[in-house]
Amino acid sequence: MNNINSQTLSSLRANLQPLYFFTSYQTFLIIIILTAATHSLLHIFLIPPWQHYDEPGHFEYVWLIAQRWQIPDPGDFEQHMRREVISTMVAHNFYENIGGPPNMLTDDEVLWLPFPQTDDPPLYYLLVAIALIPLRHTDIITQLYAARLVSCFLYLISILLAYGLVSDLLPRNRFLRLMVAGFMALLPAYTDLMTSVNNDVGAVVVFSFFLWGCTRLLIQGLSIVNAIWVVLATGLCLWTKNTVFVALPFLALVTLITLLRQWWNRNVLFIFVGTCVVALLTIFDLGEVRYWYCYPYQLIPLRQQMLDAPVGKGVLAVEIDPENARRAAFHFLLPETVKHLQGKEVTLGVWMWASKPTTIRPPILSGAISKEGINIDIGIEPSFHAFPFQMASDRVFLFLEPYTDQQERVIIFYDGLVLAEGKRPLDSPPQFDNPNGTTGIWGEQRFVNLIRNPSFEESSPGIREWVAQLLYRLVSRVTFRPEENIAAVLDWERTSYIYPITIRVLVTSFWAVFGWGHVLIGGLWYEISIWLTVIGVIGAIAQIIRSMSKTLSPPTCWAMLFLGIAMIVVWVITLLRPLPLYPWDRTFIPVARYAYPVIIPTALALVAGLTVWPWQNVKRWSTVTLFIWLFILNGVSLWRIVSFW
């Protein structure tokens, strides 16, 4: 009898064991959510009003919807609302050390609010506005904190999405799903952003929802529910923010991977590779002109070839039409190239002609003083023109903006550009040593051309003009302009300095940067964060290699590959946001909030790289160390926030 009872008890324990684990891990998840809620409330009420990225402009969008019950038009505003917001900004010392507030006593000028957002997609603002409708008659500050609480709710949803995604990706690894959720709950900068009034919050949630749907689709296979999930999530992304418009090409990628999995064979592989090659050749062009930029895009190639060109075979073609009369091509001289020329005279020469006789503006050497500025008549045959300048800056660029008065289409051609030190004859062209136009004799004196690729013989990869036009029409506010960014990436000599600066800012702002990016916690804490990131990335790579030797199922491998691609693409796009580094624009160094839409795969990679080790003791102590570090970082961050404000 005792033996029977013992067997029955053992059987009962075995049957209840999954329930014990379920209850235990559910308890841990509840603790993580409560921790995240506490953490977020601290950030909501410790950060003063309007001290988040672009918060006044985002709140204005929400307020207009809540008051009018309709989506505002781009540029729409209410003067009295802006006056009230600015008065609260003054009361909370927002304008301290930044020049003071605008004049609120005038009705003749539009009060400027930093930074208007009414031309952004509306989904996030609609969600927040719904919660604000019952409070629309309360004071502005009350409505602001209510809006922040809505963002806080979305922040908690993002943690649950992370738990769900990792659960589907690695169903046997309960440890990792809790670690990822806990990491996101304790990451100071992420919590700070997700408790602000900012459509970045909505972008993070909808893209996380999209990534989870893609993960389920790749692991479970094609089904009606998973298909609807992914398509719906893509639509939500397009309705939320331009930083998550990448969901559209990712939808095509995940669809392709799903279909390949279902009908995989050699023929399918051949078709897949062929399709990719055709797509790349259709989208990209290998004949773009190197070291030159054009804005806005034009439908004809910037670089063209002519057998009878004055120098070599390559020429630069700038198309002018009534809709884009101010189209221009740019070339940036290297600072080290012109540094020794400060205060000296240089001479700029160029061959020019047009598709029909016209009058154009001469080339402009910005950063140099021009002694001539009259327009030039050119015909259909190449003619040489030269202009004297005096160097006045170490940031010099060549500006080709012909700008004709004609009301019809005309193409301006340039070739054999030359910029040489000293006074050179303006009425006779130089004799080049080679078709590239790099050196030669001008005015019986030798010269080295300061312009790179002056006769447009060198080509480089770029996207085709129709692709640039399509992207501009679909996502006109996207700061990532592929045609310009590709040109800037390939202009390595000029742009390479920006990458280490941007990477450091991205890493530090991923962990703990607050306010408008101006509240920092100190160098030591950032150095530790950088080293943890480096170790985490190396560890993640090691984990991938180690996992490949294990018996991971093919669907899991496909899902991990997709998440890795999504993570890398979003981070690279964020890294390239400062480009193309136009001298007349303020250099914009992005922070990690633009890459937070891939916070789940990023957190998964870092946590796995820092804590998932084959040795149990190392795994245990690395986990404890990571969370001790996060608690310390939170303490330092909160202390810094309180002391700063």
CATH assignment of 291-457? 2.60.120.260
**Contact in structure between 330 and 488 (CB atoms under 8 Å):** no
Nearest partner of 397 among 368, 438, 420, 421, judged by Cα = 368
Beta bridge partners of 397: 332, 366
Q: Return the amino acid letter for 289.
A: V
Question: Any idea which residue has 């939500």 for tokens?
Answer: 236
Which pLDDT score is estimated for 407? 74
Question: Does an H or E element contain 190, and which?
Answer: helix 188-193
Please provide residue 334's backbone torsions phi and psi, each rounded to the nearest 5 degrees: -70, 135
How far is it, in rounded angstroms, from Cα 72 to Cα 66?
A: 10
Beta bridge partners of 141: none
pLDDT for position 9: 46
Q: What is the mean pLDDT of each run of 10 residues along the chain (645 residues)?
A: 51 44 70 96 96 96 95 91 92 84 78 89 96 92 97 97 95 90 97 97 98 95 93 96 93 87 69 81 88 86 92 94 84 86 90 94 88 82 94 86 82 96 92 94 93 94 82 60 86 93 97 94 92 93 77 84 95 93 84 97 94 74 90 96 92
- What are the phi and psi torsion angles at 166 (to 5°)? -65, -30
CATH 2.60.120.260 location in the chain: 291-457
Buried b (16+ CB within 10 A) or exposed e, 504-528: ebbbbbbbbbbbbbebbbeeebbee
In the numeric block, the tokens 């279909």 are attached to: 259
Q: Which among 285, 279, 397 has a CA at the least distance from the CA of 335?
A: 397
DSSP 596: G
Distance CA 538, CA 517 (A): 28
How far is residue 292 from each of residues 163, 318, 338, 521, 582, measured CA to CA in Å?
A: 47, 12, 18, 41, 12
The C-alpha angle 276, 281, 283, rounded to 5 degrees, equals 95
- Is the sign of the CA dihedral 25, 26, 31, 33 positive or negative? positive
Q: d(Cα 27, Cα 259) in Å, to the nearest integer? A: 39
The two tokens of residue 212 are: 């989870």
What order do you get walking across the sheet with 439-442 strand by strand?
431-432, 439-442, 445-448
Q: Count CA atoms within 13 Å of residue 108 on its CB side.
A: 2
Q: Give me the count of residues in the chain.
A: 645
Which pTM value belongs to this model?
0.90
Q: Are 331 and 397 in contact (CB under 8 A)?
A: yes
Element (H, E) at 82: helix 79-91
So what's the pLDDT on residue 1?
A: 45
